[in-house]
């Protein structure tokens, strides 16, 4: 883990309110596992704490994040220009653990696609991607993930199946029951709740990237905790014991 001084080389609006920020690191960046994240220092008068974002792409000396403008911090971040400098702390947290499987299923809700991009790239083959978003105008968030087996839903029905991504996933669930499969998901809490309902039937292995508001991002403040079913230490820090948890371990 390092606190790296970075220079913005690109901060481009991909679709409305969604940005891709690329930053150059002095020297080499440490290796990131899929699902690990960074704490970005955002320089602005109304922003005090750093903000967490999953590493979207990593190369020798550049790191990218794909983010959605949610509030004051991300709004200020979206105004950063090429050449501006800031600090990012990473790699933070534990990422996804990947074991050899016959099939991988990745489910992403909206900006959740940012959390699984590195993962999908490292899985390479036998990946089904379920992507749910509000409208067809958001499809470019998929970037070059279009080379994979894609199942898409939109809330407004302008592309793919109309409805949410878990309803779409439910339609395929019986195809998975006899397969050696692992499921990965990234999206809002409500999505994990309905995913859990959907999976109760077969209890397939499933890892989810869980989000909670953070101050330190490295296990110091106990601000980002989530309740789990672990009998010894039920309360876990998302930034330290997570952000990836087994869906079956969380008490959703």
Partner 1 sequence: MGTFPLELFGKKLRNPVMNASGTLGYGKEIERLWKISTLGAFVTKGLSVFPHKGNPQPRILDLGFGMLNSIGLQNFGIKRFLEEYTEFFIRRKTPVILNIFGFTEDEYVECGRLIGENPAVLALEANLSCPNVKQGGIIFGKDPKIVGRIVRGLKSVTKIPVLVKLSSEVTDIVEIAYAAYEAGADGLTLINTLPGMWKERDTLVRGGISGPFLKFLALKAIYDCKRSLPIPIVGAGGIMNVKDAILFLEAGCSAIQVGTATFLDPLAIPKIVKGLKAYFKRGQKW
The answer to whether 236 contacts ligand FAD (rule: CB under 6 A) is no
Q: What are phi and psi of 11, to 5 degrees?
A: -150, 85
**Binding test (CB under 6 A) with ligand FAD, winner from 88, 114, 141, 166:** 114
For the chain, the maximum distance between any two Cα atoms, rounded to a whole number of angstroms, is: 55
CB of 223 to ligand FES, least distance (A): 5
Taking a C-beta distance cutoff of 8 angstroms, is the pair 148, 184 a contact? no
19-38 residues near partner 1, rule: CB under 8 A: none
132 vs 242, which CB is nearer to partner 1? Answer: 242
205 exposed, middle or buried (CB, 10 Å; 0-12, 13-18, 19+)? middle
Smallest gap from residue 53 Cβ to ligand FES (A):
14
51 lines the binding site for ligand FAD (CB under 6 A): yes
- List the beta strands (DSSP E) in the chain: 2-15, 18-25, 37-40, 51-54, 57-58, 62-68, 85-92, 103-109, 127-133, 149-154, 161-162, 181-186, 206-209, 225-227, 235-237, 244-246
Applying CB under 6 A, which of residues 72, 220, 229, 235 lies at the interface with ligand FAD?
Answer: 72
* Structure tokens given for 209: 């990237």
Of these partners, ligand FES, partner 1, ligand FAD, none, which one is at the site of residue 50 (CB under 5 to 8 Å by kind)? Answer: partner 1
Residues of the shown chain interacting with ligand FAD in the complex, contacts defined by CB under 6 A? 37, 51-54, 65-68, 70-74, 111, 114-115, 211-214, 243
Residues of the shown chain interacting with partner 1 in the complex, contacts defined by CB under 8 A? 1-3, 41, 45-50, 72-73, 87, 89, 212-216, 218-226, 233-235, 240
């Amino acid at each position: 883990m390092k606190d790296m001084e970075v220079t913005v080389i690109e901060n481009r609006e991909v679709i409305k309110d969604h940005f891709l920020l690329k930053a150059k690191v002095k020297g080499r960046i440490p290796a990131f596992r899929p699902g690990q994240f960074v704490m970005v220092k955002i320089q602005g008068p109304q922003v005090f704490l750093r903000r967490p974002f999953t590493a979207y792409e990593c190369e020798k000396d550049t790191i990218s994040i794909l983010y959605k403008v949610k509030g004051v911090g991300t709004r200020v971040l979206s105004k950063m220009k090429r050449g501006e400098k800031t600090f990012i702390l990473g790699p933070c947290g534990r990422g996804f653990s990947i074991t050899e499987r016959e099939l991988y299923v990745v489910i992403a809700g909206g900006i959740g696609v940012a959390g699984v991009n590195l993962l999908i790239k490292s899985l390479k083959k036998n990946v089904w991607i379920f992507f749910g978003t509000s409208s067809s105008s958001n499809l470019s968030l998929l970037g070059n993930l279009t080379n994979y087996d894609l199942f898409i839903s939109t809330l407004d029905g302008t592309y793919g199946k109309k409805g949410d991504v878990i309803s779409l996933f439910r339609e395929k669930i019986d195809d998975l029951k006899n397969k050696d499969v692992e499921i990965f998901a990234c999206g809002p809490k409500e999505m994990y709740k309905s995913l859990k309902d959907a999976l109760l039937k077969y209890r397939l292995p499933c890892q989810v990237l869980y989000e909670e508001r953070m101050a330190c991002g490295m296990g110091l403040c106990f601000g980002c905790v989530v309740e789990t079913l672990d009998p010894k230490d039920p309360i876990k820090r998302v930034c330290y014991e997570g952000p990836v948890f087994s869906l079956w371990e969380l008490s959703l």
